[in-house]
Amino acid sequence: MKKERLFLSVGALVIGLIVAVVAFYLYQSAKVISPQKNRPLTNITKPTPKSTFFLSLTEPRDEEVSNKRVITVSGKTEPKVTLLIYTQDSEETAISSNDGSFSTTIAIAGGVNKLSVTAASPNGEIQTIVRTVSFTSENF
């Protein structure tokens, strides 16, 4: 009687194992890998290198009101960069010094002016800053 019990237990265990293996095999074979997941890795786009070319203005401050018609435009960029400073009425050029700093003057019109500074690096990269600057001789 004991032998029969042992035989049945071992048989049940073996059958259970076979069922589990078959179920696992069926589950794995039923899996579908989508073509999107299977695409070649060569299609991954590389991020474009970030530009290090910069331009910053120290003066004039944005929306500044000046009581002088000729204002100073100064700032910093990379060394030996060509700069064009322009308003709706006038323009000036400058080249940054060896440490990248620049300073020049430009005449502005009465009232509100739009002032732009464009820097062009030797490899053609462009940076522009736009400021609003006003001239009035009135006291208020």
Instruction: List residues near other proteins by CB under 8 A.
Output: 48, 51, 63-65, 82-84, 86, 88, 91, 93-95, 111-112, 114, 116, 118, 120-126, 128, 130, 132-134, 136, 138, 140
DSSP assignment, residue 98? T
Residue 122: C-alpha distances to residues 9, 38, 48, 97, 99 (Å): 85, 44, 19, 14, 16
CB 95 within 8 A of CB 74: no
**For residues 39 and 68, which CB has a smaller minimum distance to other proteins in the complex?**
68
124: left (phi over 0), alpha (psi -120 to 50) or beta: left
**For residues 47 and 111, which CB has a smaller minimum distance to other proteins in the complex?**
111
**For residues 11 and 122, which CB has a smaller minimum distance to other proteins in the complex?**
122
Beta-ladder partners of 65: 134
Q: Least distance from C-beta 38 to other proteins, angstroms? A: 29
Q: Least distance from C-beta 104 to other proteins, angstroms? A: 9
Beta-ladder partners of 13: none
Q: Least distance from C-beta 126 to other proteins, angstroms? A: 5
Q: Least distance from C-beta 140 to other proteins, angstroms? A: 4
**For residues 59 and 63, which CB has a smaller minimum distance to other proteins in the complex?**
63
Beta-ladder partners of 19: none
